[in-house]
Amino acid sequence: MTTASGLDQVAAAATRAAALPPPGSARLRLAQARAAFRLELRKLLSGGSGVALTLFGGLPVALVGCWAITAFVLMARGGNVARELSGSANVADASQVFAMIFQAFALAMIAFFACLMVFLNLVRRELRDKALHYYFLVPARREVVLAGKYAAGVVATFLVLGLSTALSYLLLYAPFLRIAGPEVQRFFLAGPGFAHLAAYVGITLLATIGYGAVFLALSVHAKNPILPALAVYGWEWLHFLLPPALKKLSVIHYLSALTPVPVAEGPFSLLAEKPDPLWSVVGLLVFAGVLLALSMRRVRRMEVLYGED
């Protein structure tokens, strides 16, 4: 009985060993990246990190929600919500309002600082908690672990920001269902309403990928990444004042080119040709890939010195 049980255990262990990918194979590295991804995703979506990310990502929803509540209150009192809030009752105005909120607030501020909060801490948090050496002691390549952590950061941040973008978009049109219901229905069912929604969610994903790669690179290359991060924010915020050649070095320049409803940059902006949407997507993905490769190369030679951090 005991012998049979022991043989069963040996057979089960042999089966598990046979199922493992061979050492150094792409399958093994992919499995290790998935393990790091699952571990980091649980960290980001649970506890204080998940609450902070959700609250921060919910700010655009709160802003648009306050606007919608005010609109409904004015309508209940018999006020002309169109003139009081937006100037007219057509869907084009609502589209323009959301485009401005998305580009100036949800994209340039919320997406930027949400990515800063998440990706800057993928490595810095482990250094602060004196736990980074445990990752380095794992029998897995450091760059594989970093890739898994980066993928988890992209997924967690996009889940929150993508949902926030979709809810904000739908909330903005809610008051117009009463004052311009047929026009709103045509806009969504026979017009570009859902295409615009998909575009805004896709831009949010690209912003997460691009800004995430920027802040991950800062976290592994700079001892104090806060000051460089603030410099990046200033560069991105004032990109409309930059000469056309320098505009091409900002992430927001390519993201704004993808917005389905264009937004004027103001009278002081320097005119520059908008990049082609396809090249904007390809360029941002290549840019993120290069920064991720540099981060993986840096982490491969990184030394854990807690006393100097």
Highest mean pLDDT pick, 162-166, 274-278, 298-302: 162-166
Q: What is the pLDDT of residue 88?
A: 46
pLDDT tens-digit map of 36-72 = 899 889 989 987 888 999 999 999 999 998 888 887 7
Q: Kindly report the backbone phi and psi dihedral angles of residue 168, in degrees, each rounded to the nearest multiple of 5, phi listed first.
A: -60, -45
Residue 285's pLDDT band (cuts 50, 70, 90)? very high
pLDDT tens-digit map of 86-114 = 444 567 778 888 888 998 899 989 999 99
Question: Do residues 292 and 147 make contact, with C-beta atoms less than 8 angstroms apart?
Answer: yes
Residue 261, pLDDT > 70, answer yes
Residue 11's pLDDT band (cuts 50, 70, 90)? very low
Q: What is the pLDDT of residue 267?
A: 46
Residue 111 Cα distances to 137, 177, 194, angstroms: 33, 29, 21
Among the residue ranges 92-96, 216-220, 223-227, the one predicted with the least confidence is 92-96
In three-state secondary structure terms, 238 is: coil
Q: What is the pLDDT of residue 304?
A: 65
Structure tokens at 196: 């615009």
